[in-house]
A and B are shown apart, each in its own frame.
Chain A
């Protein structure tokens, strides 16, 4: 049942959205979250950010503006950074979702996470998960970025504490470390 809904929605994404009218009551979906299939009942109006933070208890993803203006809620869908507050969870379909909780391998942090600590690229930490996700996505597609590539990659992110210079330094260092 859940798989059928999910398959339908995935199909709807690529074909005709109107044929997949659901709601307003909760429907079953299966989301691929950090490598694990999670089946749950959600209202169609729920955004991906709300579903991650609520029923999935993945509160590392932050909501700060809730309309795609600050990028604090950034997660990866099949490796692409998206604002999870601007996407309905039922529209995710079979795409694989990576959140901030899914980056570390056991106790080993992702090189970008490690570099953020070493370069003090976080202050209050509220924009940090989203900022890290965008930097991870950048290094996946551009393993040797320069500072302007990094600024462009995080250009949609807002940080009131002023971490941008250290985020750029940390991501440069992570890229260098990744290239050995």
Chain B
């Protein structure tokens, strides 16, 4: 049919026209779409930098280390928020990563099919809870629980450590970190689960054939094979934790200083921007918040790049390494 159609000179001319226009058009349109994505990123960075410029010129690089945020005296610094971001994200990762790995092992290796599907769906749904709802739950349920049960217990057991000193409080770094843990666990879980599912069945069976128990198989085959994926997933979770604003702003207590005690109130970069950007009165307050946004952007980019590097290098190396590792078993 095609050949018959092309033998007709009119149709062939039309075909030629389509060929001439079609390809360049496709290239043009898809190129435009790609350029748009780049333009949006460049536009955002430019806008934020432009807005931040008065603060950048006024405070300079010292902004990063200044431990103050005072709209009345117009002295601003990012240190309390960088500290808050690092502390809450680190604690969240500390809890979320092992939890997510355990859930993934359960779902891929241990759970019967009947259980696997609903549990996996529920874990994924945890990621769908709007952060403002989670924050509300944090104020009403988790905060009081931390205040009355968890923090007093930590204090009585490890009170000699400065991070567990001071008065328990419903609002603070630790409560925020727990909320973040709940937020990032499903993200890390869904990626690690996918990764675990890619472990070749032959390797697992080989391990069993050599007499490994299920735990030995997981430890010696699944985990080493998936190392890069796990690290990548964890850093993906870290990215989310660093950027989360609303839920953190609701439970962290909005204090603008560095406090060693995890029970104390603080703030993070994202939470501070979310809380104060609207109608910030000080002449330098908005630029300083934009400066904070620029730093947050830099954080996110660095985390993303690191994740990319690890995943790339890891997958290449691990596919080479794993068979020998399994052979050495």
A binds B: no
Interface residues of B (CB under 8 A from A): none
Interface residues of A (CB under 8 A from B): none
